Amino acid sequence: MSLAMNWRAAALGLLLVAGGALAADGAPAKAASGHASTRAPGHAAIASANFHATEAGLEVLAMGGNAFDAAVAVAATLSIVEPESSGIGGGFMAVLHRASDGHNVFIDARETAPAAVDAQDYLNPDGSPNRDTALKGPLSAGIPGEPAGLVLIAKRYGRLPLKQSLAPAIRIAREGFEPDERLREAIAGMQKDLQRWPASTAKYLPGGKPPAAGVIWKDPDQARTLELIASHGDQGFYHGETAQKLVAAVRAAGGNWTLADLASYRAKERTPITVDYRGYRIVTAPPPSSGGVAIAEILNILSGYDLTKMDAATRTHYVIEAMRRAFRDHNDYLGDPDFVKMPLDMLLSPFYADGLRQSILPDRATPSSMLPRAEAVEPGMHTTHFSIIDADGNMAAVTSTVNYTMGSSFVAEGTGVLLNDEMDDFALVPNKPNVYGLLGSKANAPVGGKRMLSSMSPSIVIGADRTAVIGSPGGSTIITQVLEGILHFIDGESARQIAAHKRFHHQYLPDVVNVEAGVFDAAASDALTKMGYTLKSREPWGFMNVVTWDRKTNQLDAASDPRRPSGLGKVQ
């Protein structure tokens, strides 16, 4: 315990020193050099969580679309075939790279809290957190961002009209598809919740039961909603018929959305976070994601060590300690940049990382501080990530979510739209963990119109000879999966190796290291345990979809996480 206190005092002292140094010379985070694409690959690669979606993206490329049109097609198709993970009732975050001028942009299509949000709704009468309103039904749903985000991408970055890029999704919804095992299992797992709302029952439990293997399943209501978006853009969802149906359904079931909440929703373009590490530039997600800040902070800390010269246990020790410090800051500082002032210059500064590095002991774990212990539950891998490189070298890294499995379980009658349960990503009750065991502060308190903090970390890693587009679902583990994927890519691994690589995860609290079977050999496990780490084995997690481009050989690779057989990475 005394070590924890000493460390905390030391870290606080260093934090003040770093802050002072920055205030004195006003130096921003270090300017990164990066590399521009030198030539186009001439062919394309897509990796996503579902073969229908990968094929839809390739179909749109074949129509003359670019990576951004393909991203619209993949996301909309996932809304039909992988509704347990993402959809037009949810939101996404994306990092795009435009080859023609090297422009990198972050698309923030994150949900917002409705104006009438009331923190009391998420408390039981005795003041304890009400996990049901936070995770189920209309009160758990934020105003969807995905439709606006797709319209923005198509208009500003795509080549094709939405009618073309949404066509494959609409066709699949109209003609039908076979729900795969993951979807059937997700519906069976959420059956009790889905049964609470008639439109959810009608859509997901035809005949009162989850769909059986081999049935063909159609989604005409969602097809119609997508057609309205295809014809009218934002107007097709946030105004008129769809908006009226959404608000009527939400309010009839005890929610508080208004037409004004929908009409005022905007997807936003933001400047991505960039960080340089071992000759690579990583372009990743800024707030309202915590992912990019954490990844940058971790890489800045690690850049003070030569990990390649260390044995597995020592290398892992430094990576875990960097994770611990980044997650501590995540809990304390981060939220929606339109609502909270965050010390990003400090968090992203190499001087701040220097200070944190000084607080890491070479031979043992630093116990996490004395914040209340947060118990994470297993995140179902129900969020989705896809990665695209097109023939011109345009790239899209997109992570999309309805939050927990099947989102709120609430379908808005007549729209086919399954609403998210993203409100739980706010710190609804201060210092009480959300479903991923994450604690939050005032920075992430719910306020009308505010975006809830996310861990989604779509990223593009650009090196002189090699580039990767990478991301994964997994709640708080997204950040550590993407970080480990970036390190493995920089170590020279292929797309397939990166997606398959065994994982570990640490998030400050709980003060344990989650380990996938086989990630450490007996000697490394023993050494880490002796350093003071509590290793806790956990079922395999993640659903990474990654594409890579080797510019020297002009080879593209696409790989989907072997842990989840429904995915497909394909080069065309």
What is the binding site for ligand DON (CB under 6 A)? 379-383, 401, 403, 422, 425, 454-456, 473-475, 478
Q: Which two tokens stand for residue 510?
A: 């709980």
Closest distance of CB 326 from ligand DON, Å: 15
CB nearer to ligand DON: give 284 or 467. 284
**Choice among 77, 112, 316, 383 that is catalytic:** 383
Contact (CB, 8 A) for 440 and 427: yes
Please give the backbone phi and psi of residue 530, each rounded to the nearest 5 degrees, phi first: -65, -30
Alpha helices by DSSP H, 285-408: 291-302, 312-333, 344-347, 350-358
Q: Which two tokens stand for residue 238?
A: 């946030």
Closest distance of CB 288 from ligand DON, Å: 9
Gap between the Cα atoms of 419 and 141, Å rounded? 6
Contact (CB, 8 A) for 305 and 318: yes
Closest distance of CB 93 from ligand DON, Å: 8
Closest distance of CB 529 from ligand DON, Å: 28
Please give the backbone phi and psi of residue 261, each rounded to the nearest 5 degrees, phi first: -60, -45
Closest distance of CB 140 from ligand DON, Å: 11
Helix (H, G, I), strand (E, B) or coil at 448: coil
Question: Which DSSP symbol is given to 331?
Answer: H
Question: Which DSSP symbol is given to 177?
Answer: B
Contact (CB, 8 A) for 476 and 377: no
Task: Give the β-pairing of 535-537 and 513-515.
Answer: parallel
Query: Which residues 6+ apart lie within 8 Å of 84 measured at CB?
Result: 182, 183, 186, 187, 190, 380, 382, 402, 405, 406
Contact (CB, 8 A) for 146 and 222: no
Please give the backbone phi and psi of residue 412, each rounded to the nearest 5 degrees, phi first: -80, 115
CB nearer to ligand DON: give 233 or 379. 379
CB nearer to ligand DON: give 289 or 366. 289
Asked if 242 is an active-site residue, the reply is no
Question: Which DSSP symbol is given to 206?
Answer: G
DSSP string, 347-414: HT-HHHHHHHHHT--SSSPPPP-SSPP--PPPPPS-SEEEEEE-TTS-EEEEEEE-SSTTTTS-EETT
Q: Is 64 exposed, middle or buried (0-12, 13-18, 19+ CB in 10 A)?
A: exposed
CB nearer to ligand DON: give 55 or 422. 422
Closest distance of CB 196 from ligand DON, Å: 21
CB nearer to ligand DON: give 21 or 188. 188
Gap between the Cα atoms of 386 and 50, Å rounded? 9
Closest distance of CB 401 from ligand DON, Å: 5
Beta bridge partners of 397: 95, 387
Position 263, amino acid:
A
Q: Is 363 exposed, middle or buried (0-12, 13-18, 19+ CB in 10 A)?
A: exposed
Closest distance of CB 462 from ligand DON, Å: 24
Closest distance of CB 327 from ligand DON, Å: 13
Contact (CB, 8 A) for 78 and 543: no
List, by residue number, the catalytic residues. Answer: 383
